[in-house]
Structure formats: structure tokens, C-alpha cells
Amino acid sequence: MPKDEESGWVEPDIIVNGRALTFAECMAVRVAVSSFRMGLTSPAMRKGLGVGLADGYDHHLACVELLMLVPR
């Protein structure tokens, strides 16, 4: 797991196209996933996407968050 030596904070292992992301890149992906999922709570955003697509995004982002945040 990528680790910030100064703070001790760790991020999930994320590999994109065969390359392991750095600590900062993993943090950026984790924050982006969580932020987009929080945005899906907005009725305006849900309406703009359509309920089916918004529900699908929410479901799959929840699965990704679980993989990133729960140690295995």
C-alpha cells in the first residue's frame, strides 16, 4: 500500500494500465470517487443524469469505495 512517510497515512493499491499509482495519485482517485458519490445525493445532479444512471453510478462507486477503504 502506498504510504506517506511523514504522516503514516496509507492509501489503497491502485493500478491503472499496469502502473501502480503513487501515494498522491491514489489519494486523488479515492477523493474523486468519494466526492462524485457525495454529489449523487444532489437531486439536481440525479435529475440531470437520470435516476437509472445515477443509481448505477452510486452502486458501483459504493463497491469501489468498499474495496479502497476496507482492509482485506
pTM: 0.85
pLDDT on residue 71: 72
Nearest to 14 by CA among 3, 4, 29, 33: 29
**pLDDT at residue 45, as a whole number:** 96
Region of residue 54 (left: phi > 0; alpha: psi -120 to 50; beta: else): alpha
pLDDT (tens digit per residue) in 19-50:
999 999 999 999 999 999 999 999 999 999 99
Torsion of CA 48, 66, 10, 36, to 10 degrees: 0
Angle at 13 between CA 57 and CA 63, to 5 degrees: 25
**Mean pLDDT, residues 6-11 taken together:** 91
Domain boundary assignment for the chain? 15-69
15-16 vs 19-20, strand pairing mode:
antiparallel
